[in-house]
Structure 1
Amino acid sequence: MKMTSSVVYIARHGERIDHVDKSWKQQADSPHDPFLTEVGLRQANSLGQHLSDKRLSHIFCSPFLRTVQTANEVSKVTGLPIKIEPGLSEWLHREWFSRSPKLLPIDTLKAKFPSIDTTHTPVVFPDYPETRDRVIARSAQTATLLASKYTGNILLVAHGMTCEFTARGLTRSGPVPYIAYCSLQTCVLADDGQTYHVHGPNEPDVSFIPEEIRPYVKTGVYQ
């Protein structure tokens, strides 16, 4: 499949509330769909500022609230609409989700985030529950379809594991180092027009996030 996107940026969402407040889930109406903390919003804004001169053409994000909030901060800076893409969703693992997660409907999201483009037709819908092999295939398929359908430089906002599998699907590479909050991977189209290579160091970049809110980067890689 021939790709048309010159550069694919892949970013994880910012810091999520349930990773800071361990009691949040017990009282939450939507425990499977946590929102960003204030730090997470600031991290997302830093991501937007960093991408402001990268000539983005499109912003895609998972339908989970934390990824939409992250994409919205980028949208504020770039002026680009947000396209909701279920194929970028969190890994729908039985151990993480006792049932298919209940997420905010697109109309509700649109009311909260007016920059959402409701005319976008998703390219992939995940099925619950997902095995590891299935989420790897789903992430790769989503990235490949978006990169072949849309031109210019595009941003994909996803989750830790799906960022990993999305990057691997595009670059056909092995595991990459830990993906921290709002860290960024830059995948540049190779000369063959069909695959991408990671631009710069293999480690996802967090250098653009101010030190006081820069996420802790663990050692090791996803397997």
Structure 2
Amino acid sequence: MPISRVLLARHGERVDLVDNQWTLTAERPHDAPLTAVGLQQAYKLGERLKHEGVSRIYASPFLRTVQTAAQVASVLQMPVCIENGLCEPLLNRLFPETFAGFTHPETLARDMPCIDPSYQVLRRPQHPESYKEAQQRCSEVVHALARQHPGESILLVTHGLCLEYMATSLVTREGMSFSMPYCCLTECIQDGGSSSSSSTSQWHYGCKLDASFL
């Protein structure tokens, strides 16, 4: 039977954590892009995945994750589906009450034509979220996407905490490290190949928080 794999990647280096002045003049200060280093990291992630048989790329709607996915897509020559359910936890401490939501895929596609604006999202998280709500949402989305692609290898480009939530939702018997490098890759493999229920099948790690290719 074909093996099902969920490949989880964190975004590359974000500009607001390198330049503390960036948010002072940014139009969307909650939605930082990648730095030049981050773009290079993302391209190297694409090179790492070149021979992994990835059939679909999904990305969180935040700019840094979309840019990361777009760099990977430029190597793999495939479209990117923006899935809101992969977004960073919409916590009050991270996002103000005036949080304006995500940039529309059609707008992002003007600069990144690899984006598929016709994709219909699975989840539309609402601000604010609690940690528990974000964890439940991440679990539901990763299992739903795995069920949609039995026997395939799919890439989900997301955020550090979401990567942890999704990985430990699949591989329930192993936790994750607190060290979460930019563009690190975690491979979750479904034991026994394709199955109609990702939640009842056994999963294990192929690689875990790997950043050796950067």
Q: TM-score, normalised by structure 2?
A: 0.91
Contact 1:5/1:154 (8 A) holds in 2: no
What's the offset of the Cα at 1:173?
3.6
Q: Which residue of 2 aligns with 1:162?
A: 162
Q: For structure 1, list consecutive stretches of 5 or more residues without a partner in the other structure.
A: 210-223
Shift, 1:180, TM fit: 1.3
Cα deviation digits, residues 154-189 of structure 1 (max 9, x gap)? 000000111110111122245301221000000001
* Corresponding residue of 1:213: none
Does the C-alpha gap of structure 1 residues 173 and 98 become closer, same or farther in structure 2, counting only changes over 3 Å?
Answer: farther
The amino acid across from 2:186 in the alignment is Q
Contact 1:83 1:116 in 2 (8 A): yes
Task: Note the aligned Cα RMSD (angstroms).
Answer: 1.5
Partner of residue 113, structure 1: 112
Question: SS of the residue aligned with 2:110?
Answer: helix
Q: Give, in whole Å, the separation in 2 of the partners of 1:39 and 1:51.
A: 19
Please name the residue that 2:35 is paired with.
37
Q: Distance in 2 between matches of 1:141 and 1:165?
A: 10
Aligned residues: 204
Show the counterpart of 1:208: 213
Query: 1:139–1:162: 8 Å Cα contact kept in structure 2?
Result: yes
In structure 2, distance between residues paired with 1:199 and 1:183: 13
8 Å CA contact 1:16–1:66 kept in 2: the answer is yes
Superposed CA deviations along residues 12-57 of structure 1, whole A, max 9, x for unmatched, are 0000000000111111000000000000000000000000000100
Q: Is the 8 A contact 2:3 2:191 kept in 1?
A: no
Mark the CA change 1:117 to 1:25 in structure 2 (over 3 Å): closer, same or farther: same
**What does residue 218 of structure 1 align with?**
none
Give the 4+ runs in structure 1 shifted more than 4 A: none
Q: Which residue of 2 aligns with 1:52?
A: 50
Q: Work out the CA distance in 2 between the residues paired with 1:77 and 1:146.
A: 22
Work out the CA distance in 2 between the residues paired with 1:91 and 1:101: 15
In 1: Cα distance, 2:68 partner to 2:185 partner: 12
TM-score, length basis structure 1: 0.87
- 1:121, 1:195 → 2: CA distance? 28
- Equivalent residue, structure 1, for 2:101: 102
Asked whether the 8 Å contact 2:85–2:137 carries over to 1, the reply is yes
1-structure distance, mates of 2:104, 2:121: 14
Give the CA deviation at 1:5. 7.0
User: Gaps (5+ residues) in structure 2?
Assistant: 196-200
Q: Write the mapping of 1:32-181 to structure 2, written as runs, cut at 5 A.
A: 32-99=30-97, 100-151=99-150, 152-177=152-177, 178-181=179-182
What is residue 184 of structure 1 aligned with on the other side?
Answer: 185
